[in-house]
């Protein structure tokens, strides 16, 4: 008989993130192969988990076509050498794809249906630009269900500025600059490297190389640099390339398990799932989505925002993160928030990013036994938000 179980984030790994486009390091690499590399790296690092005991493989992609089609969870599992008895499926919740993969696998484990699962995401935005192969239903606009601007993420970010005048361009620029500086400091300290899977890459001349680091970082960024950038989404606007996540290619994969499997295989969890929630908002201003999803997740966990000691917030746009911080009364430069930088510096391969947040939070938990709870949260296209609250197994304080 199935039993209710705790859900644990055992481990996570990812490929280095590359700039999308012909000049990016993954231009000659297939999307599914990126997911395969992340899967193989994760399974090799967790050899105590028998591959045949993986109950399911959930892999997300926003553009589920071409290399990102063919039921990714299943096809990647086969390509990664997992036993053919291991099933898999694909998920799409745009930017929160990998986060949804983890949440759904976590729910399956928590209800006792699964013991161990793989959950992740991949996005090759160079081969499959966002919205490039979609055909939005004309009713969206004809019946005024959704404003046309809702399908352009940059436009929705500009509208956050419109709604919240206190969110100035200067604040946004400073947040974007600090993301770059913090990410480079974390690289210099060797914090990212243990969880990166190296990927063999081939350039336009046919020469082979190795991708070992995130490609899009700009650590020398200054406020003056950002002030001079164009505003592509609106004349005299406030959203620039320096305060937006770049177009990115990459893949992430995580291993989640229940309490029984942790004991059976002698696993050492990096985090325990406390709660998760998804919420909808107006598509025209999708960036505020993590606010209601975080409120829901906190309520389900019986926690307050003050209980959260570390925040890993996806930086789709700087202003989107600032809107959440303002809502909860958190300072722009609060050291609990994205201490190793975020997507503005590292990149945002859409459906892969949720697990990147979890990988970073798990690594920070190991360094911070004084912190009990952490939050991973992100906005989602078409007006959604996703949040997952985690508990630190290394917490050294008094548990209530």
The b-or-e profile of 314-346 (16+ CB within 10 A means b, else e) is: bbbbbbbbbbbbbbeebebeeebbbbbbbbbbb
The residue from 95, 124, 181, 327 that is catalytic is: 95
**Known catalytic membership, residue 236:** no
Q: How far is CA 129 from the centre of its chain?
A: 18
In DSSP terms, 380 is beta-bridged to 384
The answer to whether the Cα torsion of 241, 242, 245, 247 is positive or negative is: positive
d(CA 37, CA 43): 10
The residue from 127, 236, 348, 394 that is catalytic is: 348
The residue from 181, 327, 379, 394 that is catalytic is: 379
> How many other CB atoms are there within 10 angstroms of residue 296's CB atom?
17
| Angle (nearest 5°) at CA 353 between 9 and 131 | 140
**Known catalytic membership, residue 394:** no
d(CA 70, CA 90): 9
Name the residue among 343, 249, 274, 287 with its Cα closest to residue 18. 249
**Known catalytic membership, residue 95:** yes
Helix (H, G, I), strand (E, B) or coil at 196: strand
Q: What is the dihedral of CA 11, 363, 90, 281, to 10 degrees?
A: 150
Distance in Å from the first CA to the final CA of the chain: 31
Name the residue among 1, 8, 51, 4 with its Cα closest to residue 262. 8
Residue 386 · residue 278 · CB < 8 Å: yes
C-alpha separations of 292 from 71, 144, 286, 288, 325 in Å = 31, 24, 11, 8, 13
Give the burial class of 398: count Cβ atoms within 10 A of its Cβ; 0-12 exposed, 13-18 middle, 19 or more buried: exposed
> How many other CB atoms are there within 10 angstroms of residue 133's CB atom?
13
d(CA 284, CA 127): 27
d(CA 374, CA 319): 21
Residue 361 · residue 260 · CB < 8 Å: no
- Could you list the active site residues? 95, 348, 379
């Amino acid at each position: 008989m199935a039993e209710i179980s705790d859900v644990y984030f055992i481990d996570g790994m990812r490929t280095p993130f590359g700039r999308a486009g012909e000049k990016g390091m993954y231009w000659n690499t297939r999307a599914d192969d990126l997911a395969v590399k992340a899967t193989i790296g994760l399974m090799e690092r967790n050899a105590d988990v028998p591959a045949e005991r993986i109950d399911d493989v959930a892999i997300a992609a926003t553009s589920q076509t071409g290399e990102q089609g063919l039921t990714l969870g299943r096809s990647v599992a086969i390509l990664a050498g997992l036993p053919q008895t291991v099933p898999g499926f694909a998920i799409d919740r745009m930017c929160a794809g990998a986060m949804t993969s983890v949440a759904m696998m976590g729910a399956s484990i928590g209800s006792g249906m699964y013991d161990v699962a793989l959950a992740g995401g991949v996005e090759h935005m160079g081969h499959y630009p966002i919205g490039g192969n979609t055909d939005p239903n004309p009713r969206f606009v004809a019946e005024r269900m959704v404003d046309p601007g809702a399908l352009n993420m940059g436009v929705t970010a500009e509208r956050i500025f419109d709604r919240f005048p206190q969110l100035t361009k200067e604040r946004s620029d400073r947040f974007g600059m600090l993301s770059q500086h913090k990410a480079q400091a974390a690289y210099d300290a060797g914090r990212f490297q243990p969880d990166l899977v190296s990927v063999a890459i081939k350039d336009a001349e046919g020469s082979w190389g190795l991708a070992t680091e995130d490609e899009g970082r700009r650590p020398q960024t200054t406020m003056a640099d950002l002030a001079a950038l164009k505003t592509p989404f609106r004349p005299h606007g406030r959203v620039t390339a320096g305060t937006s996540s770049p177009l990115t290619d990459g893949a992430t994969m995580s291993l989640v398990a229940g309490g029984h499997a942790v004991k059976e295989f002698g696993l050492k969890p990096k985090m325990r799932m406390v709660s998760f929630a998804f919420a909808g908002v107006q598509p025209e201003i999708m960036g505020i989505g993590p606010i209601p999803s975080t409120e829901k997740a906190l309520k389900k966990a019986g926690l307050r925002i003050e209980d959260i000691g570390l925040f890993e917030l996806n930086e789709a746009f700087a202003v989107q993160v600032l809107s959440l911080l303002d809502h909860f009364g958190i300072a722009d430069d609060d050291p609990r928030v994205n201490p190793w930088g975020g997507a503005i510096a590292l990149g945002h391969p859409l459906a892969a990013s949720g697990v990147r947040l979890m990988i970073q939070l798990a690594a920070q938990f190991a360094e911070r036994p004084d912190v009990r709870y952490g939050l991973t949260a992100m906005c989602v296209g078409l007006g959604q938000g996703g949040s997952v609250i985690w508990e630190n197994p290394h917490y050294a304080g008094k548990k209530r």
